[in-house]
Amino acid sequence: MRKKGTKILLGVLVLLVVSALITFAFAQDMDQLEKDTADAAFEASDKGQPDPSWQGKKFTVAVLASGPHGAISGPLYFWRPYWEQLTGATYDIAEIPFGELQAKIFTDLATETGNYDVIVGPSFFYGDYIANDWIIPIDKYFDDPRMPKWDRDGIAAPIRKLHQWGGKWYGFNNDHDGMVIYFRKDLFNDPKWQEEFKNEFNYDLPTRPDSWQEILDLAKFFNGKDWNGDGKEDFGISMHLKVGEQGFFNYIALAGGFVVMPAPGDDSAKVTRYYNQFWFDPETMKPLINTPGHVRAMEMLVELCKYGPAAMVGWGLGEAWDLFLRGDCAMVFTFGDIGTSSQDTRISVIKGKLGVVPIPGSSEVYNLETNEWVELDEPNLVANESGASWHGVITKYAEEPDMIAHFLSWQATPEINHWNVAWGWTGVDPGTVYDFLEPVGQAKIEDYTTTGYNEDDVREFLDAYNTMWFGYPHSIPYLRIAGAADYIESLDIHMSEALTGQATPQGALDRTAQDWENITEELGREEQKALYWDAIGYSGE
């Protein structure tokens, strides 16, 4: 018996060593592949004509803290040696946690300290940037022969708007955030579950759900069943809802279909006082956040929360994603990062099983002009730029703005930007024509499968984002007025009160509206109104 036990132990040890060697070899291969493809992207990218006077100079970039191989900050570390080789200049990277971004960056700018020359920050900082004249326009660089050329027209329109203000460009292309629904395609297409769903809900299981009402039924159906056979009950939907951890983006993305009413007439995307609005009445700056459309959307979010883990209200992105990736949840509602992380078999068991649909709509939308609900035959589909869409801007205190413009332009070239998208650990999500597959886009499937993607999975992922960015007729206007982070923080806090039962949806949103009124009064109603008109493209007609 002792010899037999020793043999078993040795066998296990041998298997562990072999497994470790295979994993090490795989990692080495991927590292080499990563370098080879990056070298090819570097060679193919336009490099402009770097000014020799930049050699030996340095600037500092403020960015979200995620580490040298993490989202958004990671690419800055990765590409630094290439840019140093190209220009003879370099840069420091100042990582800042999400919850400290506003305080540290705004204090630096307000005090004219100048610690940060570049901010790779969230798009909701623009109102403060513009109101305080903290960043510089970049149009003058587009025809500067020193600058690498990048494709501004190829960026999806909702994201392209985030880089501009008052007809001028301020931001360089980088990341493209929006929220979609990821689901287990194997479950949704299983005849057993399809039959049981129809028996329970009296209609066919929607294998490509396009309304929140269908998402809610699916979450109800798959929640509490042991559909993965591990002896435990599984969950219907997963979300990241912790205060201060970007949970409010879930609400904003969900609410679009209930709140954003298309304009009547030939141009349904026209922004008028009552149509294509989401945040404020543009004539009075009175908050719309507690109007019936928003209340119905918050009620939907509260209801959806019943069909995922109760702990979701305290979860950040990692916990919400992990539940789905390890195969214990039928759906996850989140950003583009799942398209990439689902392919990493070190953290995911669902590679080859991924389904993705663009953000669902609502079968009912509230009309602010008539103060009535409108029932629709087809869901009201409203795209969302929900997220930070992290990208670089140059501060007015930068000593070498031309040199910085070269770096950010080079990062925005199709070759470098698309490499960042294809190697998803970068946190840079797809949103340009060169990210999406032929024939609607310019990318080839090999751009992705070479880096380890399952072909069916990546087609699901890219098709969903391409449809939302380029196919949806309307989009939620992005909040870009001064104090945007404060307005959002109030929504974040009171949303949590509704999700935890401390307040009704109406009560939570009434408190939010009161906070927003106070913020507007403090910052100046007329000044905020002027910024809001510019931010959403409202002319008063």
pLDDT in tens, 322-374: 999 999 999 999 999 999 889 989 899 999 999 999 999 999 999 999 999 99
Residue 471 pLDDT exceeds 60: yes
> Residue 315 has which token pair?
């979860």
Q: What is the C-alpha end-to-end distance of the chain, expressed in Å?
A: 89
How high is the pLDDT of residue 21? Answer: 43
| Same fold yes or no, 52-176+389-435 and 180-386+475-536 | yes
Beta strands of 124-205 (E only): which ranges? 164-165, 168-169, 180-184
How high is the pLDDT of residue 346? Answer: 86
How high is the pLDDT of residue 27? Answer: 57
284 CB neighbour count, 10 Å cutoff: 11
Residue 19 pLDDT exceeds 80: no
How high is the pLDDT of residue 423? Answer: 87
Average pLDDT score over residue span 108-131: 96
How high is the pLDDT of residue 295? Answer: 98
Computed over every residue of the chain, the mean pLDDT equals 93
Q: Using an 8 Å Cβ cutoff, are 321 and 338 in contact?
A: yes
> Residue 347 has which token pair?
């953290």
The values of phi and psi at residue 210, to 5°, are -130, 10
> Residue 518 has which token pair?
């106070």
Domain ranges in the chain?
A: 52-176+389-435, 180-386+475-536
| CA neighbor of 334 nearest in space, from 321, 347, 350, 351 | 321
Q: What is the pLDDT of residues 50-98, one digit of tens each?
A: 999 999 999 999 999 999 999 999 999 999 999 999 999 999 999 999 8
How high is the pLDDT of residue 23? Answer: 47
Task: Specify the CATH class of 52-176+389-435 in words.
Answer: alpha beta
Distance CA(540)–CA(534), nearest Å, equals 11
How high is the pLDDT of residue 7? Answer: 52
Reduce the DSSP state of residue 340 to 3 states and report it: helix
Q: What is the pLDDT of residues 201-211, one digit of tens each?
A: 999 999 999 99
C-alpha separations of 431 from 446, 456, 490 in Å: 18, 19, 29
Q: How many residues does the chain have?
A: 541
Residue 128 pLDDT exceeds 80: yes
What is the dihedral angle through the alpha carbons of 335, 339, 343, 346, rounded to the nearest 10 degrees? 0
> Residue 444 has which token pair?
């080839």
* Confidence class for position 17, pLDDT limits 50, 70, 90: very low
| pLDDT over 90, % of the chain | 89
How high is the pLDDT of residue 2? Answer: 47
CA–chain centroid gap for 534, Å, is 23
Burial 496-531 (b: 16+ CB within 10 A, else e): bbbbeeebebeebbbbbbebbeebbeebeeeebbeb
The one-letter amino acid code at 347 reads I
Residue 31 pLDDT exceeds 90: no
Distance CA(99)–CA(102), nearest Å, equals 7
Q: What is the pLDDT of residues 405-422, one digit of tens each?
A: 999 999 999 999 999 999
DSSP 254: H
C-beta pairs of 47-52 under 8 Å, 24+ apart in sequence: 47/86, 47/148, 47/410, 48/144, 48/145, 48/146, 48/147, 48/148, 48/149, 48/406, 48/409, 48/410, 49/145, 49/146, 50/86, 50/87, 50/88, 50/146, 50/406, 51/146, 51/402, 51/403, 51/406, 52/88
Q: Using an 8 Å Cβ cutoff, are 298 and 509 in contact?
A: yes
Q: Which CATH architecture has domain 180-386+475-536?
A: 3-Layer(aba) Sandwich (3.40)
- Continuous segment of H or E residues that includes residue 372: strand 372-380
Average pLDDT score over residue span 258-280: 96
Sign of CA dihedral 350, 351, 353, 356: positive
| pLDDT over 70, % of the chain | 95
Q: What is the pLDDT of residues 498-512, one digit of tens each?
A: 999 999 999 999 999
Pair type for strands 372-380 and 362-367: antiparallel
